[in-house]
Amino acid sequence: MRKIVAIYPGSFDPPTNGHLDLIERGSQIFDELVVAILRNPEKEALFTLGERRRMLEALTRPWPNVRVDTFTGLLVDYAVGQKAQVVLRGIRAISDYEYELQMALMNRKLQPQLETVFMMPAEAYSYLSSRLVKEVAHLGGDVRELVPPLVAGQLKQRMRRVQAASFRPSAPGSGEAMNSARRGRADGRGRPGQRGWRADRRAEARQALGTKKK
């Protein structure tokens, strides 16, 4: 009988309980499930590719038919290289549907042999996203019920570093220090209340969280 290989692609920055729920469901249906982390140099991530890979490798150890990999370029090309027949994606709410449908149809246009299969995570995770987890952690909220303990620990450490960094003078010569210097600040970062200070701090937080300007 033909072996069905499925790719579960994503950014996984960081992996959440919702991702793990989907991995478990996928591992029960497909013969082999490849959790594929997108290598995207254009998108700032909170965790490096290596960190995300190591976290996912540790978290998926209970499932022998699951492996973790990284990819770059078109998902369909990667899937063909892996001899996969299926792309697995999670749909949480109707709001996910439009974007997911567009991606699935574009992938079908590019590679008609590849089928996208949508699965729903457990209801308890239907509001969960990596972006919100990062925001909650950044603002000091408790994420222990949203991510596995391994990820919660790493998030805590990373947020401490991000916060410490945002109160340290910038390295001389950095873009931020140069902008601040242009504004005439002695320490390269200025003080609260000075023109541009809040915008600079917000830009740092966005960079650290891998989010875009709203």
Instruction: Report which secondary-structure segment, H or E, holds 54.
Output: helix 49-59
Per rule CB under 6 A, count of chain residues that contact ligand PNS: 9
Token pair of 205 as six digits: 């937080």
Q: How many CB atoms lie within 10 A of CB 70?
A: 15
Sketch the per residue contact string, 13 through 52, with ligand PNS: x for CB under 6 A, - otherwise: -------------------------x--------------
Sketch the per residue contact string, 48 through 87, with ligand PNS: x for CB under 6 A, - otherwise: --------------------------xx------------
User: Can residue 170 be called a binding residue for ligand PNS (CB under 6 A)?
Assistant: no
Q: Which of 61, 8, 2 is nearest to 33 (CA)?
A: 8
CA distances from 11 to 48, 142, 179, 194 (A): 11, 22, 31, 36
Token pair of 153 as six digits: 């620990």
Strands 115-119 and 86-90: parallel
Nearer to ligand PNS, 3 or 43 (CB): 43
Catalytic residue positions? 19, 43, 92, 130
Name the residue whose CB lies closest to ligand PNS. Answer: 10
3-state secondary structure of 86: strand
CA distances from 122 to 135, 170, 205 (A): 22, 43, 31
Only one of the segments 8-16, 136-144, 166-174, 188-196 lies at the binding site for ligand PNS (rule: CB under 6 A); that segment is: 8-16
Residue from the set 4, 5, 11, 196 that interacts with ligand PNS by CB under 6 A = 11
CB of residue 109 to ligand PNS, shortest distance in Å: 9
| Residues near ligand PNS (CB under 6 A) | 9-11, 38, 74-75, 103, 106-107
